[in-house]
Amino acid sequence: MLNQENLQKVDTLLKKYPEKKAALLPILWIAQEQEGWISQEMMKYVGDLVGVPYSHVMGVVTFYTMYNDKKLGKYHIEVCTNVSCLLRGSDKILSTVEKVCGTKLGSTSPDGKFTISEVECMGACGGAPMLAIGENYHEHLTPATTEQLLTSLK
């Protein structure tokens, strides 16, 4: 299921850890980078690679918000709604995101472009309220700048 290039990365990683299972998180990250998400089949496959049961891998994937167990839209919009962002109006940012993307929190827009998720603090409280699109942070947002940002992706 992992391509040859990624299997080589896994080989390199496994040499760095005293036990295979300790490499579970970075291998899941490699799998997600390859596929865009982590399917049940991939969870079983990665579990076999590191010698842990599927249930353990699923527990890890569903615990950490950085892993996706569902296919995402082209743009994954992660809106922080934790304390600092909430106090600075993340509720208005989230409702703007839903309006502009044409879908609700936890869903993907009908055109497959946007998936909206709510996340805990992303360590950018100084720029609250903020959201991330993929690996890019967008901070000091207002409903107007949020609308502008998302409209530019349409």
Decide: is 85 part of the binding site for ligand FES (CB under 6 A): yes
Binders of ligand FES in range 1-60 (CB under 6 A): none
| Candidate residues 7, 22, 25, 83; the one interacting with ligand FES per rule CB under 6 A | 83
Binders of ligand FES in range 104-123 (CB under 6 A): 121-122
Decide: is 130 part of the binding site for ligand FES (CB under 6 A): yes
What element of type H or E holds 98? helix 90-101
CB closer to ligand FES out of 43 and 130 = 130
Q: Which token pair is 26?
A: 């970075």
Decide: is 124 part of the binding site for ligand FES (CB under 6 A): yes
CB closer to ligand FES out of 57 and 124 = 124
DSSP string computed for 9-64:
HHHHHHHHSSSGGGGHHHHHHHHHHHHSS--HHHHHHHHHHHT--HHHHHHHHHH-
Decide: is 125 part of the binding site for ligand FES (CB under 6 A): yes
b/e 58-68 (16+ beta carbons within 10 angstroms → b): bebbeeeeebb
3-class secondary-structure state, position 142: coil
Decide: is 132 part of the binding site for ligand FES (CB under 6 A): no
8 Å CB contact between 77 and 100:
no
Question: Rule CB under 6 A: which residues touch ligand FES?
Answer: 80, 82-85, 121-122, 124-125, 128, 130
